[in-house]
Amino acid sequence: MKSYTGEEYIAAGCKEMHGAMLAIHVITAGRICDTGCWAFDGGKCPAYRKLISFKGQSKAEILETVRQEAARRGISISQVRRERQGESK
């Protein structure tokens, strides 16, 4: 598994990134899903599935809101939403 930052886990919707899991994140060098998380369940965890689907995006794109992306690119919010919908299909 690829190494991910704590912010990437949170952006993917990981509900386990708190308390002791932060220590496991450090111990496993950012590879907590398949090495230290009880919710992994053979890759069925929704946050894990979302996390690995981010592989083509940069960290900034993962954490960026629709409004922020629209402002950065100089296009409308609805255009950003249309493009994001097209990417997820």
Query: Could you tell me the two tokens for 4?
Result: 């991910």
Predicted confidence (pLDDT) at residue 40 exceeds the cutoff of 90: no
36: Cα within 13 Å, side-chain hemisphere: 16
Q: What is the pTM of this model?
A: 0.56
pLDDT digits (tens, 9 = 90+) for 46-72: 888 888 876 555 555 557 788 988 888
Nearest to 8 by CA among 64, 83, 72, 68: 64
Q: What is the pLDDT of residue 58?
A: 57
